[in-house]
Amino acid sequence: MSENVNLFPGVKVILVETSHPGNIGAAARAMKNMGLTELVLVNPYDFPHEKAIFRSASADDVVRGATVVSTVEEAIADCQLVIGTSARDRRIPWPMLTPRECGERVTAAVAAGQKVGLLFGRESRGLKNEELQKCQFHVNIPTGEAYSSLNLAMAVQVISYEILQGKLGGEVPPLEWDRPYADSEAMEHFFQHLEETLIQAEFHDVDNPRQLMTRIRRMFNRIRPDRMEVNILRGFLSAVNKLVSVQKRKI
Amino acid sequence: MSENVNLFPGVKVILVETSHPGNIGAAARAMKNMGLTELVLVNPYDFPHEKAIFRSASADDVVRGATVVSTVEEAIADCQLVIGTSARDRRIPWPMLTPRECGERVTAAVAAGQKVGLLFGRESRGLKNEELQKCQFHVNIPTGEAYSSLNLAMAVQVISYEILQGKLGGEVPPLEWDRPYADSEAMEHFFQHLEETLIQAEFHDVDNPRQLMTRIRRMFNRIRPDRMEVNILRGFLSAVNKLVSVQKRKI
């Protein structure tokens, strides 16, 4: 296994009293996809279980490496930042984070060498109030109003995704294109060639242009063609020019 | 069922040749959690199936309301914006969106009254190249390097989450354009007409295609032509066709 599997050393995903082992496996896969590998299970209902391994797909190492403890206190004992997932409507308001803010906080904490615990509650009832009160922040995943209950592993996926986003920091790898973009001069030559060909083909009437060339310029400027694409377009126009000249010779 | 269940009318989640019915159910739940309800299944392997209903939890209405079609073309025929999920490393680069940008684009498209298709590929192999080439954009979910293969329903969850974020995430300025965008069906007709004309003009050798049509599809999908622009392009092709037929008569 490569050494950079764990992009977030010191960040623990803590699943509290999970009922379905399949959810543990699916959560492990979601974590590993986003570079998280430290899984802690608090008093799981049915674990170890083959369903956890099966649903984890290639994250079985995360499942097999999970730490099992019996209390939330134990799970978070060494953490300097504890964030709990929560539904919106709690009686006593708590500092809330969006998933995006959660990702940013975790990135900042990791950069500062802090240990982080992310608490996810039971499938049926989430985290208890006493567990939520051990957290510095609560994070709520926004949903549509009609159906607000996310599957546990899906919640792990969204939070893990935002943690990786926090690390990538909006740094989207630059769009790599296989050819250099055409320059303005090449585009002008193309537009001239196209206009001549449109006239030759009797599609474009210069005495009644109806903004045709304006629309065509707008259209191809939207493309930002690369050099090869301009060559393809001009090659096609040349083929049309040849048809016309053959035709004219025959007349 | 409350009337505001569907926060994104005209936005279709399209699952292509899904193998496991459980994934269909999990995807339906992920969608409904984020306010999306229009599910289209292209040639599903095993559907209807009780596992799809079971995994959907309270989104069984989305599963039962799914439209089943036999081709991707059918699924996207009326869409003006088509986005496909893709791994990053394709031979010919395509305009890429991050999930966040995807959410913003979809929000803008919905505000402009456009129909949107979001394509998700097979569990094993994703979308085929020919399917990806029907898209204006590809969206890639960033992952850690160690394990980049997301479960299908998880991918639906992340994209759906970002679509809801796009809607909540403040005011996206409406996309102002003077004509409605062409839909996929009109674009397919244009591509067929163009290919025939390229062959007629002896520019395109079907026995040695050298990815010509791939490059052309990528180019015109970048444009996202409106209906008038498609009419202009096809008018020009028809003028070329006429030249060819006049020439042939003379020979």
Q: Tens digit of pLDDT for each residue in A189-222? A: 999 999 999 998 888 888 888 788 888 888 887 7
Does the pLDDT of residue B128 top 70, yes or no? yes
Dihedral pair phi/psi, residue A206, rounded to 5°: -60, -25
Kindly report the nearest CA distance between residue A227 and chain B, in angstroms: 12
Minimum-distance CB partner of B240 among A26, A201, A228: A201
With bands split at pLDDT 50, 70 and 90, how would you rate the model's confidence at B91?
A: low
**pLDDT score for A5:** 87
CB proximity under 8 Å: B 53-112 to A: 57-59, 92-93, 95-96, 98-100
| Predicted TM-score (pTM) of this structure | 0.87
d(CA B137, CA B42): 20
Contact criterion met (CB below 8 Å) for B178 and B117: no
Residue B25, H or E segment: helix B21-33
**pLDDT score for B90:** 64
For residue B251, list chain A residues with Cβ-Cβ distance below 8 A.
250
With bands split at pLDDT 50, 70 and 90, how would you rate the model's confidence at A250?
A: low
Does the pLDDT of residue A223 top 80, yes or no? no
Does the pLDDT of residue B158 top 50, yes or no? yes
What is chain A's length? 251
Strands A67-69 and A38-42: parallel
**pLDDT score for A50:** 97
Minimum-distance CB partner of A143 among B4, B34, B147: B34
Helices assigned H by DSSP within A68-209? 72-76, 99-111, 129-132, 152-168, 184-200
- Count of other CB atoms within 10 angstroms of residue A141: 23
Minimum-distance CB partner of A146 among B4, B220, B251: B4
Residue B76, H or E segment: helix B72-76
Does the pLDDT of residue B163 top 80, yes or no? yes
Contact criterion met (CB below 8 Å) for B229 and B182: yes
Minimum-distance CB partner of B250 among A161, A168, A247: A247
**pLDDT score for A65:** 97
Preceding amide of A209 cis, omega within 30 = no
For residue B146, list chain A residues with Cβ-Cβ distance below 8 A.
1-2, 4-5, 32, 35
What's chain B's average pLDDT? 90
Q: Which of A18-27, A166-175, B127-136 has the highest mean pLDDT?
A: A18-27
With bands split at pLDDT 50, 70 and 90, how would you rate the model's confidence at B218?
A: confident
With bands split at pLDDT 50, 70 and 90, how would you rate the model's confidence at B73?
A: very high
Task: Look at the alpha carbons of A206, A210, A211, A212 in this order and tell me if their dihedral is positive or negative.
Answer: negative
Q: Give me the interface pTM, i.e. the ipTM.
A: 0.84
Cross-chain Cβ contact B203/A175 below 8 Å: no
With bands split at pLDDT 50, 70 and 90, how would you rate the model's confidence at A153?
A: very high
**Mutation for testing the A interface, residue in B63, B178, B240 having most A CBs under 10 Å:** B240
Region A42-51 average pLDDT: 97
Region B28-42 average pLDDT: 98
Among chain B residues, CA nearest to A219: B223
**pLDDT score for A1:** 45
d(CA B23, CA B204): 42
Interface A:B, Cβ pairs < 8 A: 181
More confident residue, B180 or A38: A38
**pLDDT score for B3:** 47
- Lowest mean per-residue pLDDT among A64-78, B53-67, B78-92, B147-161: B78-92
Q: Where are the beta strands (DSSP E) in B70-136?
A: 81-85, 96-97, 116-120
Does the pLDDT of residue A2 top 70, yes or no? no
Residue B64, H or E segment: helix B60-64
β-pair partners for B224: none
Does the pLDDT of residue A176 top 80, yes or no? no
Q: Does A149 touch chain B (CB under 8 A)?
A: yes
Helices assigned H by DSSP within B91-226? 99-111, 129-132, 152-168, 184-200, 212-223
**Helix, strand, or coil here: A226?**
strand
With bands split at pLDDT 50, 70 and 90, how would you rate the model's confidence at B156?
A: very high
Closest residue by Cα to residue A13 from B26, A3, A4, A23: A23
